[in-house]
Structure 1
Amino acid sequence: MYLGIDIGTSVTKAAAFDGDGRLLAVQTRPTRLSTPADGWYEQDIDDVVGSVAEVVAGVAEAAGGTPRAIGLTGQGDGVWLVDEDGAAVRPAISWMDSRAAPILSDWLADGTVAKAFRRTGNTMFPGSAGPILAWLERHEPRSLDRAATAGYCKDVVMQRLTGLRATDTSDASLPFLDPHRREYDPEVLAWCGLEHRRSLLAPVAEPVPVGELTAAAARRLGLRAGITVTSGPFDLPACALGSGIVAPGDGHLIIGTTLACQVLKDTVDTEVEPNGLTLATGTPGRWLRAMPAMVGTAAVDWVLRLIGRDHQSLEALLADSPAGARGVTCLPFFSPAGERAPFLEPAARANFDRITIQTRPSDLVRATCEAVAYAARHCFEAAGLTGELAMCGGGTASPTWLRIFADVLNRPLKLAPQPETGARGAALAARRVAEPGAGLDDWTAPEGVVEPDPARAREYEERYAAYRVRVDAARAVWRETA
């Protein structure tokens, strides 16, 4: 048995799998996201670690066995400050946080973001480690002085469980890692004014950090000490691994709170417009070109709340509005942090066009769902998708929305094994350590395929072109008002 633990922004999940990848049991526990100021998002580190202990103990009991290995994954970006023992120095600053937006705006204006992208293949946004650390340097330097590590979510949990201070190449990629040497780039740190904080970055272990469950952690989790624990990759590449993405050119789509579009590559291109991420994987010579757009199910959730409906109503609402939403169009950039892929615009904001008194609530929902699909196509065009495409995430629960994605993207969509694709990827990473050379096929076979409709795909081709025109016009306005 293998355990995969996925530490999300709002929920921690643990899933137990047998040796053939069959799901045995799942446990979940919500975590709290606090907003101490407008645009600020923080998490209590002890609460997150406690959530891991609860779900692991629960899933091990439900599965009725002792795991051979435990794999950790979780949310990326943000900054989690801890001391030498892994104890919290301050609440973790989430990837959703926008307090560092003014710093990022300055870096965009003076070329820092573009220079860093040319070196690393990774752009920065307000919730990434570079701007947040620079904000802490200006406003809370004592917090940095007290910290031993400015880490990432899964790595803090790893230290609490095993005592190991380390990160993997996927999290380390954001935003300081040289993708070829797979080491932190001192010049990028210097451009961010953080060269004197280099010691806060955890050592990079390949393919993933590996430790053993300590006696104290084992008692808390209800397991035996000495079980192998691995950390990484973080949630985006973990989902790609759990979906069986292994061939260059193949892509992966996560329809979650955010919209994560990824393509596996065997080269790094830093000469394109600075956008998105280039994530080193545990396999040398392979990178994920990731476009983690801030749009996603959160946009649809907001519209559903606006009209007083819930998720259970989504299928009926989509059925009530035809393709094209009776002419209503949407730009789905609802995040207060703007957008980070396939372009970087901290001032990006959402809007609806062509609304009249005859517009139905269902048209707003349909327009939003279509716009999120257009954003996915925009991301995959920027990322260089040429092969097959797999998908997972909460948005796949809507058959109609899946058909919209298939038609807009005009390609078959393979449904990855669900639920808990990220936890599956984490468990696979742990299995690779415990069973070197183990294959992926049994674990990652698709559950089904959604085919595009040729006629609707042609209609959406024209609507997508119009969406791109609206985005380009909006970007000019956002830059003027930033």
Structure 2
Amino acid sequence: MAERGDLLVGIDAGTSVIKAVAFDLDGRQVAAASVLNRYREGPDGSAVQSLAQTWADCAAALRELGERVEDLAARVLAVAVTGQGDGTWLAGAGNEPVGDAWLWLDTRSAPTVRRLRGHPLDRARFEATGTGLNTCQQGSQLAHIKAHQPELLARAEVALHCKDWLYLKLTGVRATDPSEASFTFGDFRSRRYSDTVLEALGLSEERRLLPEIIDGTQVTHPLSEAAARETGLRPGTPVSLGYVDMVMTALGAGVHTGEPGVACSTVGSTGVHMRAVTSDHVVLNADGTGYVIALPVPGLVTQVQTNMAATLNIDWILGVAHDLVAEFGQSLSKGDLVSRIDGWMAASEPGALLYHPYISAGERGPFVNSDARAGFQGLSSGHRFPDLVRAVAEGLGMATRDCYAAMGDMPAELRLTGGAARSRALRAVLSASTGAPVRVCSRDETGAAGAAMMAAVATGVFPSMDACVTRWVVPLLGKAEAPDAKLHRTYEQLYGAYADARRALEPVWTRMADYRQATRRADPGTGSAGEPAEMALGAN
């Protein structure tokens, strides 16, 4: 056995699953383990998760990885952790949880967001963070908690994000990273907290809750004795705090490989669309939406727009088919239905319908509206199920284009990761919608890989992140697939109608939201259809 460990472990704590993945020092995946998460949703817009259970699941994933890799503990050079972004994970005395975590899915802060957008300093807050205020973020959630549940903040000693909580449990250190710190409470240029931002959020007095900012490519902390007992790893193993999962996934998928104009879209349960630029080339839109998220590369950030729902829309339309078939006593697996998508799309006409993919109770990119809902336009008696499937897929393409349009020019090349990247037909839609050739990274676990890359730099395996990218990422990028010229022309014509329709529908969404709220007041036990109280989901 070599004196120096020969494996790096990346932890990716997503909304629905926690993964622990072992890589060799050249970036090859050795083994992976995962544990499903559970979170609870309520009719009041709440979406919460147990801090204790999340740590227990993380530790279980690491123990399972140890069962799959011989002598794992002795071979691990370092561990790195990333996780779901936004949300509010409060800890108090003795680093014990203060209630359940508010997830990024939680919409209870919507009234507070509307109030804060009217603050005289809101534009200054946006120009510092590069990030539009929405219900997902810890800033708006803390402001809402301060107004409505101040006892929680009185008991809290630190406000963390998911990965920060796991880092605390792994090392005993309260910290956050430059990415979440700057897009929530700081300035993306300095990567530090901003007094102006805190004032705009009404949280100047709550600065005491903000943890130290550390960069996991430069600083590590040792795995604690307690965490070693729970995970099966060796105490003292260096632990690196990764950046937020969105940029870790993009880093592992090729958002930054040195070529100009490259962008990366993760089209999974949600849609994350980003491009890597220097801090002085960020385009801040007039609507004040999107994110600017630091990369673990000096001077580079990602400009980001995110859809609340991407492949969740496909899950929905396939679920309609599944339920209908079940009514006749038949059974089809999700795999059976997914395998038919390309065939259904081949049997339908491009651009025949419009679909706005806001199936996940609201939208945040490139506009913020918690009342937004999905819908079809242009239906006629001649349309059949394959046309609906194609419209849903094209809605994802239009939403992708909508997001990139809010950030400036369309990409010169689009790197894809997530579930949609596996479908040739869906890749063709995304390519034609943006007019950009697409490339797919063959790596399975890009988020865990991005975190492990930070540990690789922190421990001196590579002298810089650029050197690590050259070895870990570039060789795994597939061949470029050019956009279909005819399909691109179709979508060029369709996009204007798509954008006009979503703007025109806003008062309709508002009136429907007013109706739902009135119904809930009349009958507090009533929730929205299709929004279950508890969910156990597959991987993002």
Fold conserved between structures, TM > 0.5: yes
Query: What's the CA shift string for 1:27-69, capped at 9, x where partnerless?
Result: 1110111124432100011111111111112213312232111
Q: Secondary structure at the match of 2:272?
A: strand
Q: 1:481: Cα distance to partner?
A: 7.4
> In the alignment, is the contact (CA less than 8 A) between 1:118 and 1:271 conserved in 2?
no
Query: What's 2:191 paired with?
Result: 182
Matches within 5 A, 1:227-376: 227-246=237-256, 247=258, 249-266=261-278, 267=280, 268-270=282-284, 272-308=286-322, 310-321=334-345, 322=347, 324=349, 327-336=352-361, 338-376=362-400
How far, CA to CA, are the matches of 1:60 and 1:249 in structure 2?
41
Query: What's 1:225 paired with?
Result: 235
* Greater alpha carbon shift after TM alignment, 452-461 vs 268-277: 268-277
How far, CA to CA, are the matches of 1:207 and 1:281 in structure 2?
11
Query: Normalised by the size of structure 2, how large is the TM-score?
Result: 0.84
> In the alignment, is the contact (CA less than 8 A) between 1:114 and 1:123 conserved in 2?
no
The equivalent position to 2:223 in structure 1, one of 213, 226, 233, is 213
Query: What's the CA shift string for 1:332-377, capped at 9, x where partnerless?
Result: 11222x2211122232221112223443222222111110111111
> In the alignment, is the contact (CA less than 8 A) between 1:80 and 1:151 conserved in 2?
yes
How far, CA to CA, are the matches of 1:317 and 1:278 in structure 2?
34
Give the count of matched residue pairs: 481
Query: What's 1:96 paired with?
Result: 105
The equivalent position to 1:453 in structure 2, one of 459, 469, 484, is 484
The equivalent position to 1:13 in structure 2, one of 2, 10, 19, is 19
Query: What's 1:439 paired with?
Result: 468
Query: What's 2:206 paired with?
Result: 197
Q: 1:83: Cα distance to partner?
A: 1.8
Q: 1:112: Cα distance to partner?
A: 5.5
Q: 1:158: Cα distance to partner?
A: 0.3
> In the alignment, is the contact (CA less than 8 A) between 1:244 and 1:441 conserved in 2?
no
* Greater alpha carbon shift after TM alignment, 346-355 vs 414-423: 346-355
* Greater alpha carbon shift after TM alignment, 168-177 vs 421-430: 168-177
Q: Bigger radius of gyration, 1 or 2?
A: 2
Query: What's the CA shift string for 1:190-211, capped at 9, x where partnerless?
Result: 2221111101111111255521
How far, CA to CA, are the matches of 1:386 and 1:374 in structure 2?
14
> In the alignment, is the contact (CA less than 8 A) between 1:328 and 1:354 conserved in 2?
yes
Q: 1:324: Cα distance to partner?
A: 4.3
How far, CA to CA, are the matches of 2:127 and 2:385 in structure 1?
44
> In the alignment, is the contact (CA less than 8 A) between 2:433 and 2:491 conserved in 1?
yes
Query: What's the CA shift string for 1:372-428, capped at 9, x where partnerless?
Result: 111111111222354432111122222221121122222211112321110110111
The equivalent position to 2:9 in structure 1, one of 3, 11, 30, is 3
> In the alignment, is the contact (CA less than 8 A) between 1:315 and 1:398 conserved in 2?
no
Q: Secondary structure at the match of 1:439?
A: helix
Change (3 A) 1:175 1:306: same
Q: Secondary structure at the match of 1:341?
A: coil
Q: Could you list the runs of 4 or more consecutive aligned residues of structure 1 that deviate by over 6 angstroms after TM superposition?
A: 479-482
* Greater alpha carbon shift after TM alignment, 142-151 vs 114-123: 114-123
CA RMSD, aligned part only? 2.1
* Greater alpha carbon shift after TM alignment, 98-107 vs 451-460: 451-460
Gaps of 5+ in 2: 1-6, 324-333, 514-540
Query: What's 2:529 paired with?
Result: none
Query: What's 2:500 paired with?
Result: 469
Q: Secondary structure at the match of 2:432?
A: helix
Query: What's 1:402 paired with?
Result: 427
Matches within 5 A, 1:408-427: 408-427=433-452
How far, CA to CA, are the matches of 1:124 and 1:454 in structure 2?
37
The equivalent position to 2:177 in structure 1, one of 168, 185, 188, is 168
Gaps of 5+ in 1: none
Q: Secondary structure at the match of 2:274?
A: strand
Question: Are residues 1:114 and 2:123 paired?
Answer: yes
Q: 1:100: Cα distance to partner?
A: 0.6
Change (3 A) 1:31 1:481: closer
Query: What's 1:131 paired with?
Result: 140
Q: Aligned AA for 1:451? A: A
How far, CA to CA, are the matches of 2:147 and 2:359 in structure 1?
28
User: Percent identity between the aligned chains?
Assistant: 32
Q: Secondary structure at the match of 1:69?
A: strand
Q: Secondary structure at the match of 1:173?
A: helix
How far, CA to CA, are the matches of 1:4 and 1:210 in structure 2?
14
Query: Normalised by the size of structure 1, how large is the TM-score?
Result: 0.94
Q: 1:136: Cα distance to partner?
A: 0.9
> In the alignment, is the contact (CA less than 8 A) between 2:348 and 2:387 conserved in 1?
no
Q: 1:85: Cα distance to partner?
A: 3.6
Q: Secondary structure at the match of 1:52?
A: helix
Change (3 A) 1:112 1:398: farther
